[in-house]
Structures are given as C-alpha cells and as structure tokens.
Amino acid sequence: MRTRHILCPTDFSEAASHALGYAVEMANLYAVDIRLLNVISMAYGEPDYGIVVDSPAELLQDQEAYANDRMKVIVSEVREQMPSGLFVHTNIRSGGVLAQILEEADDREVGMIVIASHGHTGISHMLSPNVAEAVANQAKCPVLVVK
C-alpha cells in the first residue's frame, strides 16, 4: 500500500466527492498518487421508437465529453490539496461499473480503493446494486468504503 496508487472511482456525486477527500488524505499520508476513475454505463433500451435521439455512439461520445470536463475540474481542485511530486491520474472506462473498477485496480496494481457508498437501504438497496459493497468483497487490495 505504501508505494502504490490509491484508486478513487467517481460518479461525480456528492458522496463520491466526500470519498475523494479521504483518498486525498490517504495519498498525502502515504505520499502516493491518486487514480480517479469514472465508468460510463451503456444506456438500456431500444434505440428506435420513432423518436429522434442520439445513436448509442453519439450518446457515449457525449458522456465521455461530460466526464472529461468534470475530471478536469476535479483534478485541478485535488492538485491544490496535494504536495508537489504527487500526481492525479484519470481514466474513463465504459462497461459494467463493478467489472471496470476491479479491472482498473488489477491493471494498475493499486494499493487501496477508496469508494463512496450511497447508503441505500431497504427496497432501494434491493433494486439498486451496491457497487461499494461488491468492490469491498471482490477487490484484491484493501478497500475503504466512505458513507
């Protein structure tokens, strides 16, 4: 952990921003870089019901442009909180969120994952899969889940 990057997946939510604060603290403590990851999930549904909509390729392109813009803002904010010599790396992937987070962690051999939990309970927990819980159970490295 002490020589490897910290992976912080983000969906640009307030909860993810809160988790990023912990990731920055850990990165400063261990003097390691941060890796920010955003995963773009493909939209569900049929593309043609007689309604004018973007094609799946155009939709993906729009989502990537939005993610890139958001990442630039976050990186500039995080760099101010980190000492010189430490870096913030970004990556945008598309696919299943859980699979992409785990793959990024394995590919980059990160030392820790800091991830936000949205705190769903009851029926909303059953309807919305808890990615943070699955990451904590399946990752090969330590995981800090932030509420």
Q: What is the CATH number of the domain that holds 115?
A: 3.40.50.620
**Is residue 1 in a domain?**
no
Q: How many domains does the chain have?
A: 1
- pLDDT at position 144 is 96
**Is residue 88 in a domain?**
yes
Q: How far is CA 76 from the centre of its chain?
A: 17
Task: Indicate the pTM of the whole model.
Answer: 0.86
State which residues form the domain around 27.
Answer: 6-44+52-146
- pLDDT at position 126 is 45
**Is residue 63 in a domain?**
yes
**Is residue 19 in a domain?**
yes
Q: What is the pLDDT of residues 6-22, one digit of tens each?
A: 999 999 999 999 999 99
**Is residue 103 in a domain?**
yes
**Is residue 56 in a domain?**
yes
Average pLDDT over residues 71-80: 96
Rounded to whole angstroms, what are the CA distances from 30 to 38, 91, 128?
A: 23, 22, 34
Q: What is the pLDDT of residues 106-123, one digit of tens each?
A: 999 999 999 999 755 555
> Residue 5: pLDDT band by 50, 70, 90 thresholds?
very high
**Is residue 126 in a domain?**
yes
